[in-house]
Amino acid sequence: MKLGASLIIGGALFALAIFVGLFAPWLAHTDPVMDANLINAEEPPSWTWWFGTDAQGRDIYSRVVHGARISLTVGIVSQLVNSVIGVTLGLTAGYWGGWWDDFVNGLTNLMLAIPSLIFALAIMAVLGPGLTSLLIALGLTNWSFTCRIARASTLSLKSQGYVQAARVLGYGDLRIMITQLLPNMLGPIIVIGTLGMGGAVLAEAALSFLGLGIRPPYPSWGSMLSEARDQITTAPWLSIFPGLAIFLTVLGLNLLGDGLRDILDPQSRSRRT
Amino acid sequence: MTGPPLIEVEDLRIDLTVGPSRVAAVEGISFRIDRGETFGLVGESGSGKSITALALIGLLRQPLSIGAGAIRFEGREIQGLPAAEQRTLRGNRIAMIFQEPMTALNPVSPVGRQIAEMFVLHKGKNWREANRLAVEALASVRVPAPERRVNDYPHQLSGGMRQRVMIAIALACGPDLLIADEPTTALDVTVQAEIIELMRNLCAERGTAILMISHDLGLVANVCRRVAVMYAGRIVEERGSADIFRACAHPYTQGLVDSLPRLGSRAALGRTRLREIAGVVPAITNFPEGCRFNPRCARATDICRTTAPETTLLGAGGLVRCHHHA
């Protein structure tokens, strides 16, 4: 079986990020928060300090490794929440139509009209900083694209012969949605989901950068970038490595999304076997 | 036959709502099908045969709705049943197969799973048991190597194989009535014969009644014991299928019979032209006054243009709707 290059590269990058996140305590050289030593402050990358050290003398490598935990948790969990909300609303709106469809459409347009980062900022301002608030804020603000795609797919799938056939064969609404509609729209939903996951990683970075996400001294890639802002000319490694981590993770997720789309299309599946 | 018929349609009218106005797409339809009987509904495109079938399984959707009349399944009115009960009827007691086997199967689900789903849905089996029954069902429609084929996706099967799978799904729960809506129109002629034979044999074995819908009078007469001919939303003639070629009463049926090539006839040998019925089926919104066939009818007189004919009973359970029937 031949897999696409984007799937392999994307999958490898994402798997690497997951691996690093899972085994952070074993991979890190030092404790990312406690091991501060001003004697080692702002060391450039070397054999001892792979990614260099920050102004407090903490190992950047260890902080990037631990930061993967937070960034990935936020990316995966918030996008899952988004997908569930988006698919549920879009699927039911497209299937039932009527006033429910109008309501969901209005809500989606409202969400699209407000920049999601501003909306997330507002939620964070109310809930206060922290991981849970981050998950809630990002999980509730990015479902509109998923919802639109789910609704559009439902509308086009609804008139397909097999959906009609399922109705004739006595399937209930819920069963039609789960067995006939959902699997047939999964391809685009997964692609949007992985893209959204990358977006959530970026949004977490942005919120933490603005000081509303993860609070120092705990390391998240965004908060590390935020702290590194002042030293970007004197100690560029402070921003390069967390930035690189964000870049590679988001790139991996986007490539993975593309590769998965090819795999999930049953017609291309048979070409390979 | 004693007791109520399996399905009985009485004076059915189906309305089509176009903007503020309603027109009757189908009206005055009455027929009955007994247990194990084969009944055919023949007509041109737009004559209302498919929406009649949809009405039978309670699946008419806006802009179509039942305007009048009754459909009774085993003596019980289908329309009055709660939605959940209607659903247990569909697929379980009344099943349907469609014209397009290419699109009637879910492309992302293996065919075995789609058959098994019927057992889970209607017979309360668990998936293991259902999967085993699915292999049996696939074997019963003569699909070779069913235990491997259950894992195939629809696009890996040919049109004939897909229609076999559709038949397996439709007959999975042992329904009392199978509605076949143009089941072989999309298939090659040789495959057509196989599928029809298979469907007829399986239904005969299980005592399943067939309601076959087609534009092909020859095919329907071949499969069914009784045939009703529809024209512009009305049944114009109902006969035993043996009688329909021998002595059809309605000029429209006569036209249909004449337009069929007969083996060995001068027309089939290409020496004369096949006879056609002049004109086209009128649009639903623009049915003519009186008898709806009158603009195309050679026998039409003044009464045909003003008064719709009532049904006249013929011998041997036949009936016709014509002022000047043969």
The CATH number for B89's domain is: 3.40.50.300
A178 in contact with B, Cβ within 8 Å: no
Which chain A residue shows the shortest CA-CA distance from B118?
A169
Beta strand pairing call for B319-320 and B234-240: antiparallel
Name the residue facing A266 among B104, B108, B170 (closest C-beta): B108
Specify the pTM: 0.79
Residue with tokens 């009827």: B89
Comparing A61-65, B200-204, B258-262, the range with the smallest average pLDDT is B258-262
Summarize pLDDT for B144-173 with one digit per residue, the tens. Answer: 999 999 999 998 998 888 889 999 999 998
Please indicate, yes or no, if residue B132 is contained in any of the structural domains: no
Mean pLDDT over all residues of chain B? 86
Please indicate, yes or no, if residue B130 is contained in any of the structural domains: no
Rounded-to-integer distance, Cα B282 and Cα B293, Å: 9
* pLDDT over 90 (residue A266): no
* pLDDT over 90 (residue A235): no
Summarize pLDDT for A138-173 with one digit per residue, the tens. Answer: 888 889 989 999 999 999 998 888 888 888 888 888
Please indicate, yes or no, if residue B126 is contained in any of the structural domains: no
pLDDT the model gives residue A1: 41
Test mutation, B89, B108, B162, chain A, max A CBs within 10 A: B108
pLDDT the model gives residue B61: 80
Summarize pLDDT for B12-46 with one digit per residue, the tens. Answer: 999 988 888 888 888 888 999 999 899 999 988 87
Domain range for B52:
7-93+173-320
pLDDT the model gives residue A224: 84
List CB contacts (< 8 A) between A169 and chain B: 90-91, 95-96, 118, 121, 169-170
Rounded-to-integer distance, Cα A244 and Cα A256, Å: 18
* pLDDT over 50 (residue A261): yes
| Burial readout A194-219 (b: 16 or more C-beta within 10 A, e: otherwise) | bbbbbbbbbbbbbbbbeebbbeeebb
**For residues A39-64, average pLDDT:** 77
Domains of chain A: 67-272 (1.10.3720.10)
Please indicate, yes or no, if residue B104 is contained in any of the structural domains: no
Comparing A168-182, A252-266, B60-74, B159-173, the range with the smallest average pLDDT is A252-266
Chain-centre distance for alpha carbon B13: 17
ipTM, two decimals, is 0.78
A180 vs chain B: nearest CA distance in angstroms? 7
* pLDDT over 90 (residue A237): no
Number of folded domains in chain B?
Answer: 1
Chain-centre distance for alpha carbon A140: 13
Determine phi and psi for B11, rounding to 5 degrees.
Answer: 50, 45
pLDDT the model gives residue B250: 87
* pLDDT over 90 (residue A205): no
